[in-house]
Amino acid sequence: MNNAVMRHPVASREQNFSFSTVSNSASAGTLTYLLNNTRPLDLHEQMLKAVRSPMAFPQDIDNLLHALEKVGIIIGAAQAAAKDTRVRHCVRCHQTYLERNNGFQACQVAHDKPRLIKTGIQANANTGPSGFKNYYSCCNQTVDTDSGAPSHYHFLGRHTTVETNVRYNSTNVATCVMRKCAGQVAARDVVIGQVPPVQSAAPIPSRPASRMEVS
C-alpha cells in the first residue's frame, strides 16, 4: 500500500463562489442595511472623506478600489478617465477642465438678470410691491420680487464636450460659435458607467444623461 499522502488541491475563491452564499452572507446583509439606511448624499460625503483622509493607508484604498472593481462598480474606463490629462472645453459653461476634476457640481451656469414685469394685479401679500414680479427669461419663470431667483443656479451638473447634451437658449447658455470659442472642438464622449441623472436647478435644463459622459 502506498503510504504517500494524497494531496488535495486547495479550492480557489472562484471555485467556491456561490451566488446564494454571497448574497446571504453577513457582510452582504450589513452592506444592504447600510445602503438602505444611508442617504446617497451622506454616503457620497463619507466615501470622499474616507478616501481623502490623511489617516487612510494606501493599501486600504487599493483594497477598496479592487473590491469595487470585483463587484463591477468601477470599470477600467473610469480609471483611465481619472488619469487623463487632456484639457477639455465645456460647451455649456465654456470653461476648461480636466476630466478627473469633473463632477455633478463642476458645471455652474448662473441665472440671467431678471426683468421686472407688471402682473396687472394690485399689490398684496402674494404679488409683491406694486403688483410687479421678476421674470427670468433664461428658464421662463416668474417669481415674486422678494423671493429671489427660482433656484441657486440655472444649471448645475457635469461639464460636457458634446453639444447635443446641452439645451441652449438666447440668453445665458450660448454655443461655442455664438461665444466665438475659437479652436474648440468637441471630442467624442465615452460611456464609463451608470450614474444618476445630471442635477439641474432649472426647469429647462440641459438634456439629462443617464450615463457618465467622458470625452
What digits encode the pLDDT tens for the residues 133-146? 888 888 888 888 87
Place of cell 452582504: 28
Radius of gyration of the chain, Cα coordinates, nearest whole angstrom: 26
Sign of CA dihedral 127, 131, 137, 138: negative
Give the pLDDT of residue 23: 61
Residue ranges of the chain whose pLDDT lies below 50: 1-2, 4-18, 20, 127, 186, 188-213, 215
Give the pLDDT of residue 184: 57
Give the pLDDT of residue 130: 61
pTM: 0.64
Give the pLDDT of residue 188: 46
Give the pLDDT of residue 142: 87
